[in-house]
Structure 1
Amino acid sequence: MDILPFPCTIFKTQKRMDDYSASDMRCGDLTEAQLKTHYHLMDISTRANPYTLTKITPFNQPHSMFYGSRGEGEKITRQQCASILFDELRHLSQTFALYSPYKYLIEKMIGHMQSGNGTPFRDIALDRALREQILHDRSPDNSTRLRLENAFTDNIDWENMSFPLQNKDRLKDAMTRGRLPKFDRFQDKFNGMGIAVHDTWATHITIKSLHIDHDRYRAVVHYKIQDHFGLDSDDISTFTYNQFRFFRIWFVLQRYNQFGFKPFMTNMEAVVEISGGRYAG
């Protein structure tokens, strides 16, 4: 009987890692006319008008009682306008990051978009948040960790203390039927992870090692997850995104051909240990 070798990657999403051709990775590809006509993006910022490159004051804010009384606001350069918009983006992000050790992440990621020129982003806090999410998911039907735990118990050859190669697909099936780690829980709306990551793009799950000792086993599992810090047309066209000034500013900074700030890959990794026994059930 052939034995499954380790390390062994048991699951990969259909969406691939480092997919720079994805729609949410586009930048600088839309004109002012397209932004206004197709996406109805007229009211962008309360501080600067990205189309006229002017500062916004109570006298040129359309919702103000003083609107129009003193003409246009102060002219600014494109670089000054972008800086103002990024500062406003950081300010607005606080609404989505009210507490937790991860509340500062979104500001770091906004800063990376402003100056990182599209390079990938890593932060130890992201890895920690991913690991906590995996460990705290205790849903027997959804948790990939718990499903993998059961798959080991059911498919290990206990008599020979090994994992048969022919049972590899049982591990993959357990992952496919589970729910991959994401940050779309209720608490993620306020702890900073929902705005920093929320959904994910690609996931790889690898069994690094499996040790079987009589009626017990211990496995080390590596999760590698990638998200895109970028917005596509579908995002900004939905009410959920379009209603918030935060996303309207983000979309303009990324997609307007006068700015074109590059989105980037957000990389996360976590290693968890899974253990169980022959008679765990």
Structure 2
Amino acid sequence: MLIGEIPETCVFYSLTMHMKQVRPEILSKSGINVRRGQIIGTTGMVGGRNAYHFQMCCSAEMLKIICGRDRGYLDISASGRAKSRYGNRYFYFPAGTPVYNGNSPYELSLFPFCHTSIELYIVHEGTKTRTMRKVDGSYDLVGETAIAVDYICEPTPVVRGHQIYSEWVKVIYPGGEGWVDVSSPKIKTWTDADFPDWAGWILVDDDLTPDSQCNSKIVKKAREKRCADFTRFICKFPLEWDFSSFDARFSWLKKPNASLSEPMNDKSYTALKEYVKALSFFEKLPASIQSELTGQVWHFDPRGLIIQLQKAERRLIYSSANSIKHKKMNDFTVDDMRHGDLNKEQILEQGKVNKINIYGKELKKSFFNFDKTLEEHFATMDNMAEWTAWGEYSPLIRIMLDKFKRNEGGILRHELLNKAFLEHKTTKMCVEEIKRLISQRLNENNFKPLSMLDLENLSNDIGSRIKLPKFDDYDWVNGLGIAIHDTYSTNIYIDELDVFDANVGMPNRVTFKARLSFCIQDHFGLDTADMNGKGFEVIPWFCSWFILQRYQHYDFKPFINEANFSVWIEGD
């Protein structure tokens, strides 16, 4: 299967036993694909109760792909893998991490309020963060705090050169709470794909005995606490369905032991051996699989792993960062995000449309009016907003101007912007084309899960053949053709993809249902190219905007508009 937004291929093995009945379509032939949610049969009996046996395991090589390591604890000296990222995020704060004070991300102190005195381990779940510290090999909770939004803005001096933005996260630390820039190179970052220790994941590899007994000190210590979540323990021990190793695993039963009141006699031991032989199937497996599952094998609790893998279903099917122009998300380093970097003379030099060459002499009329006051420049922008925006989405341009006036920078997210994109004609056309491409891929691969090649081809087709959502028609009704117009960066994901067999009356028809998610960003800022040849240099509204943003004595921060929305699609 594939795991992660930028997926990697992993192979693990699952085993289902003690079924009362198995569906004929499952038994019809080997190598059949079992779809998610597909009924495979009914449960049988285990120990006199309605139940069945289910287990999941993998080789050491595959464990490295699944969780990034095949032994020990997470290496906190380096951040997590670039690929196979999904789910919650996790941070390691070394002692001495600067913490900033402020009621909101827009009111942070200029200098650190304090520095952490100990190492801290953070779980970032989106709407809240939990802080832990390590004591005697275990993680104790320091506290947790709610967080409305991650504040992403232009990179701080410490981060500049390492990242294209800074990201501030609110955390609890011993003695209080504050904000930490997790983009700092001193902060190490992981996701659920790295199976962090402080998320409860433990690799149990300290019992190398072949006798099928649990002699692990890690497990015994956890049992003493009586509160350990064993669903996140990944344990290494021999596969029990290899009959050739039976005596090595169970001969201890014939000797005095703590599990039985008295040692097992030969008759009972032989009966057990025959029972295990009837259940064993290892010798029937292909040689390549036998090789993978010989000796010590990694075993998961299916409950823990399935919940984990559900977080890994999202697939990134298009990113403008991978396009020819390499436009990344949260890029505060490009020219249209600069502010306060030009003097009056440099601004007056801008403009090509407003230049006329008469007999070799260049005449130029400048619309960059430095006689206007600060308030008059904003009034010019307000006037443009009034006569270019009406209707349901007209408040958006006012919301953007108000944010610009507050000089906050960062990212603007608003439900009205999400709705405007969702209902725009370019979005609907884009979604229909993506649905057609997904349907084409599924029909070509006989409705199997999308492969790495399928995803790669899908991404290429979206980039080369589909127009992405954008307000590029100069909509003079809602103002978005002026305030947003084209977009800077776009990510498109498949969050869920389910395949269904058709109704009884249509036995040869298979359908699918998928959820597409969009993250679209545009920059509320002007670069020098905007004011040289596009005609904006003769429009007072844009000239005032350019002066407010780029003039060194005004220095109003541009920001990023971000829309997030999802669409369900169905097809066959």
TM-score normalized by the length of structure 2: 0.39
2:561 aligned with 1:266, yes or no?
A: yes
* Range 188-197 or range 201-210, more displaced: 188-197
Alpha-carbon shift at residue 190 of structure 1 (Å): 3.0
Shift of 1:93: 2.1
What's the secondary structure of 1:91's corresponding residue?
helix
Structure 1 match to 2:442: 156
Tell me the residue number matched to 2:399: 108
Match of 1:69 in 2: none
Q: How many residues align structurally?
A: 238
- TM-superposed CA distance for 1:159, in Å, is 4.7
Partner of 2:467: 179
Contact residue 144 and residue 174 of structure 1 kept, 8 A: no
Pick closer, same or farther for the CA change 1:257–1:169 going to 2, 3 Å.
same
2:371 paired residue number: 49
Amino acid at match of 1:216: T
More strand by share: 2
Deviation at 1:49, TM superposition (A): 1.5
CA distance in 2, matches of 1:203, 1:222: 11
User: 1:32 is aligned with what amino acid?
Assistant: K
Report SS of the residue matched to 1:189: coil
Change (3 A) 1:41 1:263: farther
Contact 1:156 1:164 in 2 (8 A): no
Other-structure match for 2:314: 7
Aligned-pair identity (%): 29
Please state if 1:35 is matched with 2:347: yes
* Letter of the 2:539 counterpart: F
Q: Cα–Cα, structure 1 residues 213 and 240, in superposed 2: closer, same or farther, change >3 Å?
A: same
CA distance in 2, matches of 1:149, 1:268: 21
Aligned residues of 1:11 and 1:172 also touching (Cα < 8 A)? yes
- What residue number does 1:60 align with? none
* Cα pair 2:336 2:526 within 8 Å, conserved: yes
Q: Which amino acid aligns with 2:537?
A: N
Match of 1:58 in 2: none
Q: Please give the residue correspondences for 1:1-281 in structure 2 after superposition, counting only pairs within 5 Å.
A: 6-13=313-320, 14-39=326-351, 42-44=366-368, 49-50=371-372, 81-97=373-389, 99-133=390-424, 137=428, 143-156=429-442, 159=446, 161-176=448-463, 177-185=465-473, 188-214=475-501, 215-277=510-572
1:133: how far off? 1.8
Greater shift, 254-263 or 230-239, is seen at: 230-239
Amino acid at match of 2:386: Q
Change beyond 3 A, Cα 1:100–1:156: same
Q: 1:149 to 1:43 in 2, by over 3 A?
A: closer
How far the C-alpha of 1:10 sits from its partner, in A, is 1.0
Task: Indicate the RMSD between aligned Cα atoms, in angstroms.
Answer: 2.4
Distance in 2 (alpha carbons) for counterparts of 1:263 and 1:96: 21
CA contact (8 A) 1:7 1:207 kept: yes
Q: How far does residue 274 in structure 1 lie from its aligned partner after superposition?
A: 1.0
| Gapped regions of structure 1 (runs ≥ 5) | 51-80, 138-142
Gaps of 5+ in 2: 8-311, 321-325, 352-363, 502-509
Question: Max radius of gyration: which structure?
Answer: 2
What is the CA-CA distance between 1:240 and the residue it aligns to? Answer: 2.3
- Asked if structure 2 preserves the Cα contact closer than 8 Å seen for 1:93 and 1:246, the reply is no
In structure 2, distance between residues paired with 1:254 and 1:237: 16
> C-alpha displacement at 1:234, in angstroms?
0.8
CA distance in 1, matches of 2:531, 2:554: 17
Query: What residue is the counterpart of 1:70 in the other structure?
Result: none
Question: Could you say which structure has the higher helix fraction?
Answer: 1
Name the CA shift for 1:105/1:10 in 2 (closer, same or farther; >3 Å).
same
Task: Tell which deviates more after alignment, 206-215 or 156-165.
Answer: 156-165
3-state SS of the aligned residue for 1:185?
A: coil
Partner residue in 1 for 2:47? none
Distance in 1 of aligned mates of 2:450 and 2:534: 49
By relative contact order (CA 8 Å, sep 6+), the higher-ranking structure is 1
Q: Over residues 225-257 of structure 1, what are the superposed CA-to-partner deviations in whole Å (9 max), with x where a residue is unaligned?
A: 111000011101125212211001000111111
CA change 1:165–1:34 in 2 (3 A) is closer
Whole-angstrom distance in 2 between the partners of 1:274 and 1:209:
10
- Provide closer, same or farther for how the CA distance between residues 33 and 258 of structure 1 changes in structure 2, counting only shifts above 3 A: same
Q: Distance in 2 between matches of 1:44 and 1:38?
A: 9
